[in-house]
Amino acid sequence: MTDALKLRLKNVIKFVPDFPKAGICFWDIMPIFRDPKLVTDLCNAIAAHLKEANPGGVTAVAGLEARGFLFGPQVAVLLGVPFIPIRKKGKLPGKVVEERYQKEYGFDVIELQEDALTATDKVVIVDDLLATGGTLRAAVNLVRKTGASVAEAFVIVQLNKEDGSPLYSEDLSDINVVHWIN
């Protein structure tokens, strides 16, 4: 990740106070996806990082609905590995594993198709943003329920407190969490 790319990303992210409810400052990353060159450069940089940081190789990219779906598939294609969707409850057919979790602004349940991963898989989980860590914690638990291992959790943005420490309160010490912007 170059400083120039970081700056280009930061320049287009919008901050929306009191959305979706009072007291939350919402980081709107959608404008990134209005700029095809920026998306290309971002996906190439993520794929290059994942290759370098995981020399043993990753065998799958698991992306979180909805915003992990915006760049996860491109990264998986660049790595030449499958993209595995992790979706909100009730959206995936067939046998699924599920996890309930708390988010910055409510509860949710996420699911993964049971036959999507096996015990030999080394998975990178991707999402746009890490806030309380509830979603990421649940996603890691979900991937591990299939027997697969988590090589890395990659998020574009990590929310920090005013003192610069991470906002997340979940214990993520068993995961290699990588973020590029805070």
Ligand X SMILES: Nc1ncnc2[nH]cnc12
Ligand Y SMILES: O=P(O)(O)OC[C@H]1O[C@H](OP(=O)(O)OP(=O)(O)O)[C@H](O)[C@@H]1O
Q: Under the rule (CB under 6 A), what is the footprint of ligand X?
A: 24-27, 104, 129, 131, 159
- 112: nearest Cα among 75, 76, 150, 139: 139
CB under 6 A: which stretch of 7-15, 32-40, 46-54, 129-137 binds ligand Y? 129-137
Indicate the Cα dihedral angle 56, 153, 70, 11, nearest 10°: -110
Helices and strands (H, E) in the chain, number of each type = 4, 9
- Rounded to a whole number of angstroms, the minimum distance from the CB of residue 131 to ligand X is 4
Whether residue 152 lies in the annotated active site: no
- Rounded to a whole number of angstroms, the minimum distance from the CB of residue 54 to ligand Y is 22
- In the sheet with 149-158, reading across from the earlier edge strand, the strands are 96-103, 106-113, 83-88, 60-64, 122-130, 149-158, 177-181
Whether residue 67 lies in the annotated active site: yes
CB-nearer residue toward ligand Y: 15 or 119? 15
Per CB under 6 A, the list member of 63, 72, 133, 166 interacting with ligand Y is: 133
CB under 6 A: which stretch of 2-10, 31-39, 60-68, 144-152 binds ligand Y? 60-68
Q: Which residues pair with 150 in a beta bridge?
A: 123
